[in-house]
Structure 1
């Protein structure tokens, strides 16, 4: 089994983490998220048209009716091929009627395709508070579990990986001007669980290998652990993405919001488990004296010290990829070749045996 030395580039991986952090900060706090009426309150109208229309054309009709700062999205409707979701902070009944009349005159409104939903501002604030509380509780529980199951130094890299996943997901939502709805929050909570699940698999294998690998550096142990768990994580990710892609193609607006956020989080969660949480753990653990000593001892070692020959002892790999401890090879006997220095203790023993043999010969004579 070939082991890739990913941890040699741990600082590059942390550089990508920095880039993602800057991207998320700029897009979320400067560009801004388009919050749905679930968070800010307002009116949401869905309408299906018989003739094709663009988002800009529908937005012009809505603004002409007097609606301020409307958000118009093209969605897949069950009863029409051209459906649009119109969201605004306020939209009176007269404005709704004017919008429907204008759209019906220009494009034709499909019968039974109109739906209107109103959410109060107080309910929106309550939803926002509950969302933040849910995320905060999830993070605290994750930190507590990882600190109990492993140690506190394992919890912090896992939380940084979660922030990476959620930040990148929200950043993509901000750039693409997609509405953040309650379905998006549900997807983010699912992302937290999936990402930490992937990270725990890697961390658990690292902990197991630490008990067997007594001489390798911590980076070498993490490289081996990643190699042993990568195929499993990739297969799990592919199996999860297949139904999500089906929802993105055939699902309704609410399911699509959920599936899009979860798709982004699944991909970033798989990446961050290997290349965000693991490098941070290596950098932190290698500051400990016992692992720091191994790093200093290995600085003059050849580049391929984790190849198959090196892995044969003291750790061997089974057919399933498990690391098991094997007996260390015995030291060879001192060489009798000329020019090879024999240890002092061995020389003394040989001298005593020779003297005892000579005394025995004299007595026999």
Structure 2
């Protein structure tokens, strides 16, 4: 078994772990800071909307040796408007100029052919802003329907607290992705909208995996006094951590290929737009499923009277064990007459940290006879 597989198995059994839930205030602070930065960037810089949303003309040139910078300069001089130039894979250029009508587009096209010293015809395509507006409206409608369906499904399959936490994580991912577009100045195109809608499913996938593990681990939780809800939630994150990392990396690799090879080297504009939003959204989704969604569920559950009472019993049991000179591991061991199916896997120290080993079920502690 590989080293990563060995670590994953030990995480699943609870032999090692990291206290994600216990340090949730740090993750909340980091997420709030990132979100505020994204919102400020969005408010100050705004989104760089593509020509499909503003209207204008798209010129496609034949094969040329003119550089992108030179073509952009010529296009802006000919049109009087800012221009976006992309070099395509066959040494042709795609020049976008906003706010041009048919007559202006014809004039600009002729001037570009002269400036770029092109003998062939420059293909000009006009784009109306109403088309982009329709796409935006449909995207908002799809986003709203998706959010509602997600909340309803998770509330039925799990519970409303998990549905609320998943919704917060989704909003968190979308806000960060849109904020990065505003801060860096990436162009927003229909491909960007497609990518944003696509990342919602990826973001939700890891969250549901952890929630399913948490649901299984908290069956009959109030019938035991070995772990609190937050501690079981933390074990659920650790138990699925390697799987989340693997699925995220596997998803990011082809997206990175589309972004850096398809968009960077081949100059495929639509591929670049879709893959860029996917890349940012996948990374944000992996973060939110581990650091936001599950800790938030633990916070909400710990407010319940039953969970508060359970926490008191667990802490009282550990305090009594400490008074007898026993370790926290001894306090977490099986007790005769106490249900042992509250948490699948081997017994482990509550809130274990990486490198700390837990004893298996039924193994006596040193100096303790059965």
Q: 2:42 is matched with which residue: 10, 22, 28?
A: 28
1:95 matched to 2:103? The reply is no
Give the number of the structure with larger relative contact order, counting CA–CA contacts within 8 Å between residues 6 or more apart.
2
Question: Is 1:67–1:95's contact at 8 Å kept on the other side of the alignment?
Answer: no
Conserved 8 A contact 1:76-1:253 = no
Structure 1: which 4+ aligned runs deviate by more than 4 Å? 109-112, 297-303, 305-309, 326-329
Contact 1:3 1:307 in 2 (8 A): no
Answer yes or no: is 1:268 the counterpart of 2:276.
Answer: no
Q: How many residues align?
A: 315
Alignment match, 1:279? 295
Q: Deviations over 1:250-294 (max 9, x none)?
A: 321101111111111111111100101112111111111111223
Give the TM-score taking structure 2 as reference length: 0.76
Task: State whether residues 3 and 306 of structure 1, in contact with CA within 8 Å, keep that contact through their aligned partners in structure 2.
Answer: no
Cα drift, residue 47 of structure 1: 3.9
Contact 2:63–2:90 (CA under 8 A) maintained in structure 1: no
Question: 1:259 maps to which residue?
Answer: 275
Select which of 184, 192, 201 maps to 1:184.
192
Shift in Å, 1:137:
1.0
- Offset from partner CA, 1:83-134 (integer Å, 9 cap, x none): 45423121521012212321x14xxx5968x543322222222222111111
TM-aligned CA deviation for residue 309 of structure 1? 8.8
In structure 2, what is the Cα distance between the partners aligned to 1:310 and 1:83?
Answer: 67
Alignment of 1:32-47 (within 5 A): 32-47=46-61
Q: Is the 1:219–1:282 Cα contact (8 Å) retained in structure 2? A: yes
| Runs of 5+ consecutive residues of structure 1 not aligned to the other structure | 319-325, 330-334, 336-365
Deviation (angstroms), 1:306:
8.3
**What are the superposed Cα offsets for residues 316-345 of structure 1, whole Å, 9 maximum, x if unpaired?**
527xxxxxxx9999xxxxx9xxxxxxxxxx
The alpha-carbon deviation at position 312 of structure 1 amounts to 6.8
1:61-210 to structure 2, matched below 5 A, reads 61-68=74-81, 70-73=82-85, 75-80=86-91, 83-90=93-100, 91-102=104-115, 104-105=116-117, 109=118, 114-210=122-218
Alignment equivalent of 2:73, drawn from 42, 57, 60: 60
Report the Cα distance in structure 2 between the residues aligned to 1:172 and 1:295, rounded to whole angstroms.
Answer: 40
How far is 1:53 from its partner?
2.6
Distance 1:116 1:233, change over 3 A: farther
So what's the TM-score if we normalise by structure 1? 0.77
Identify the residue that residue 5 of structure 2 maps to in structure 1.
none
Distance 2:126 2:46 in 1: 23
Q: 1:13 to 1:111 in 2, by over 3 A?
A: farther
Inter-CA distance 119–250: structure 2 relative to 1 (3 Å threshold): same
Larger radius of gyration: 1
Which residue in 2 is equivalent to 1:224?
235
CA distance in 2, matches of 1:190, 1:110: 42
In the TM superposition, 1:9-28 aligns within 5 A as 9-28=23-42
Shift of 1:144: 1.1
